[in-house]
Amino acid sequence: MRKKSISIIFCMLLIITALAPLNLSAGNTRGWIPLPDPLPVDMLLEESVSRRMSFRAYTTTSVTDEELSTVLWAAYGVTTSGGRTVYSPNGTYSTTMYVIRSDATYIYVPGNHSLFLWKTGNYLGLGQNTGAPIKFGLVWNKSIAPDEKAGMAEIGMIAQGVYYEANALGLAAITTGMNADDLYELGLPSNEKAEIIMHLGHPTTPYNFNYNPLPPSNLPAVVNSTMTLADAVNARHIVNAWNNTELTLLEASQVLWCSYGTSYLYDNINHKRHRTPPSAIGIYPFKIYAANQSGVYQYSPSTHSVSLVVSGDKRELIQDAVDHGNISVTSAPLIIIPFWDKSMGGQNPLTWWQYESGAIINNVLLEAAALNLSSNVLSVITDQNALRSALGLSGQTNLIAMHVAMIGHVNQSSQNDPPLAPDLSGPTQGTNGVSYNYTVSAIDNDGDDVFYYVDWGDQTSSGWIGPFASGTPVTFNHSWAFMGTYTIKARAQDSHGLEGIWSLPLQMTISGPGLEIAIKGGLGVTVTVTNNASIPVTNVKWEIAFSGGFAFPDQKTGSITTIPVDGQETFRMMALGLGRRTVTVSLQADDGISMEKPADCFLFVFFVFGVT
């Protein structure tokens, strides 16, 4: 009887092996997915700012592709003039914006307003559970901007765009930072740091506001301009000098309110007024100071009023305390400086408050545009003590300035536009380890000198190189260590720091050796990784995962310090299960290496069949 049972099992195994042929894939199929044009949204900027609030629960209603396109554009897209919807003071734009949906995770590509497939599978479980059908992973790219504080300020600006456009569409959003490390499950490149997860969806309870302005004060009541958010984003005008036309009291009132004020709408659901920027942890530890020709004033959000701190023109002293470059701070009719009061939020990471400061500055630039004013912002404070002294705040070392914003009128001749998108040309096929030349040229319609930045698609870049005369072709060269297809793109920046849009991408296919993954069955799964590339591979994190049915355990992870040139490393996994499964091997390593290889197989107890 025992021999008969063994014979039956053996015959079953033969049948199973015959019926479970190998079905290997070279990896995820990745490509550009164009987004539809953003929807026209008629809500005025100030109304959208007043409706900014956070939601922690969402319905099951999906967000349409058109709605997603509109929110992404407002958050991090390209304006009609070739600039960006958020303004980076250092011109780096160091945020990678991951779009997490139930089908897969994508990267938003502003240059051609598209999505790029990053990882298949449903990762909506990352971060807090709110039921949102879409989450945004906002990640700082250390290779583009080495200063994390500047990166977080930019992320704060992006978040405002999400909040404002979401509520204008009847959608809702929230920013969460406590669980941001969950984003590493997406296999982020080693040069990226997870910072923020935002949730986007339809609110379980619709917005319910009524108009209820603050009582009269020494500042005029807030009024609506004629610009929508999209209009204000496209109209934003960055300059380095202003004429001597003073702002009206209403103009100053509007900008101060938008920076850190209290909504003129009352929320009947939560029974309160919301603030114009979000808060990292539900507190508002910033103090807003404004300087003009007559003196320095402190803004009070609760009463929408100002109080005099010190009389006299302090703009030259302010300029001396910052790294102003070629920006004439002294000519700005109005200077707004948000100070973080660390006595109110000192126990939390400084980067969180850079996020909030970025949101404040973004609001200032938007409202300035809505008022047909021109603006700029500085992010390097060289002497905090001197700046506090200039504003009559000597001794208040608990106050830390993070940005200085300047607003005013300019003469028509002072208009400045960013350079056009560069022309990028060069080879599209090559071999690893060989250096190839690429030519980049861009025209600046103002005749300004230009700087160039080339992204090589392998987590490295040229950095900003220049200056060069407008239209001058410049040759760059680069080599790739591993086989694969890389997306190369370039952008230009003028001598005033105004950045243009990305060039059309160029695909470079590198043939020849690279990393090779071999999957074998038997008693468990055995994986062999061979390094056929021209350089060693370091800090390799690997994962074997079963999907498509029960398997216990369903995944295993590990790491390899180094795989030398022509070297091999082998790792195994045992799992208990029965039936057809997909086994996927994923690799993440230094130099931005990311590989994934799935195989169909049949799992019988601890044996894996159909993999050869």
Q: What pLDDT was estimated at residue 549?
A: 85
pLDDT mean over 271-286: 87
Q: pLDDT: is 532 or 315 the higher one?
A: 315
Instruction: Specify whether the CB–CB gap between 569 and 603 falls below 8 A.
Output: no
pLDDT mean over 141-150: 86
Instruction: Specify whether the CB–CB gap between 605 and 522 falls below 8 A.
Output: no
Identify the three-state secondary structure at position 441: strand
Q: Over the stretch 200-226, which tens digit does the pLDDT of each residue have? A: 999 999 999 999 988 899 999 999 999
The answer to whether domain 209-414 and domain 423-511 are alike in fold is no
pLDDT band at 414 (very low <50, low <70, confident <90, very high): low
CB atoms closer than 10 angstroms to residue 268: 12
Q: Over the stretch 480-512, which tens digit does the pLDDT of each residue have? A: 877 778 889 898 989 877 788 788 888 888 876
Q: What pLDDT was estimated at residue 387?
A: 97
Which residue in 108, 56, 234, 44 sits closest to 502, CA to CA?
108
pLDDT band at 434 (very low <50, low <70, confident <90, very high): confident
pLDDT mean over 412-433: 81
Reported in sequence order, the residue ranges of 190-248 that DSSP labels E, i.e. its strands, are: 192-201, 209-211
282-291, 310-319, 439-448, 589-598: lowest mean pLDDT where?
589-598
2, 289, 373, 463, 490 from 472: Cα distances, Å: 84, 44, 33, 18, 14
Give the bridge partners for 339, in sequence order.
Answer: 287, 401
Q: What pLDDT was estimated at residue 82?
A: 75
Which CATH code is given to the segment(s) 32-201?
Answer: 3.40.109.10
pLDDT band at 459 (very low <50, low <70, confident <90, very high): confident
Q: What pLDDT was estimated at residue 485?
A: 82
Question: What distance lies between CA 534 and its chain's CA centroid?
Answer: 33
Give me the residue label for tokens 């005008």.
237
Tokens of 442: 């861009």
Give the bridge partners for 499, in sequence order.
Answer: 493
pLDDT mean over 88-105: 90
Third-level CATH fold of 423-511: Immunoglobulin-like (2.60.40)
Q: Max CA-CA distance within the chain?
A: 104
pLDDT band at 413 (very low <50, low <70, confident <90, very high): low
Q: Over the stretch 383-393, which tens digit does the pLDDT of each residue have? A: 999 999 999 99
pLDDT mean over 570-597: 86
Give the bridge partners for 310, in sequence order.
Answer: 296
d(CA 477, CA 349): 40
Q: What pLDDT was estimated at residue 592?
A: 59
* Domain extent listing, the chain: 2-28+513-609, 32-201, 209-414, 423-511
Tokens of 358: 């970025």
Tokens of 368: 């300035």
The CATH architecture that domain 209-414 belongs to is 3-Layer(aba) Sandwich (3.40)
Identify the three-state secondary structure at position 426: coil
- Region of 91 please: left (phi>0), alpha (psi -120 to 50) or beta: left
Tokens of 236: 């934003």
Q: What pLDDT was estimated at residue 260?
A: 97
Residue 4's contacts (CB-CB under 8 Å, 6 or more residues apart) are none
Question: What distance lies between CA 406 and its chain's CA centroid?
Answer: 25
Tokens of 466: 């220049």
pLDDT band at 346 (very low <50, low <70, confident <90, very high): low
Instruction: Specify whether the CB–CB gap between 395 and 105 falls below 8 A.
Output: no
pLDDT mean over 517-535: 88
Let me know the angle formed at the C-alpha of 52 by 47 and 55, rounded to the nearest 5 degrees: 140
Q: Over the stretch 3-37, which tens digit does the pLDDT of each residue have? A: 444 443 434 433 333 333 333 222 333 457 889 99
Q: Over the stretch 437-452, which tens digit does the pLDDT of each residue have? A: 999 999 998 889 999 9
Is the pLDDT at 253 greater than 90? The verdict is yes
d(CA 523, CA 243): 78
- State the DSSP code for 597: E
Q: What pLDDT was estimated at residue 415?
A: 64
What's the full length of the chain, in residues? 612
Residue type (1 letter), 372: N
The per-residue pLDDT of the chain, averaged, comes to: 88
Is the pLDDT at 80 greater than 70? The verdict is yes
User: What superfamily would CATH give domain 2-28+513-609?
Assistant: Immunoglobulins (2.60.40.10)
Residue 341's contacts (CB-CB under 8 Å, 6 or more residues apart) are 285, 286, 287, 398, 399
Tokens of 507: 């695909």
**pTM for this model (two decimals):** 0.71
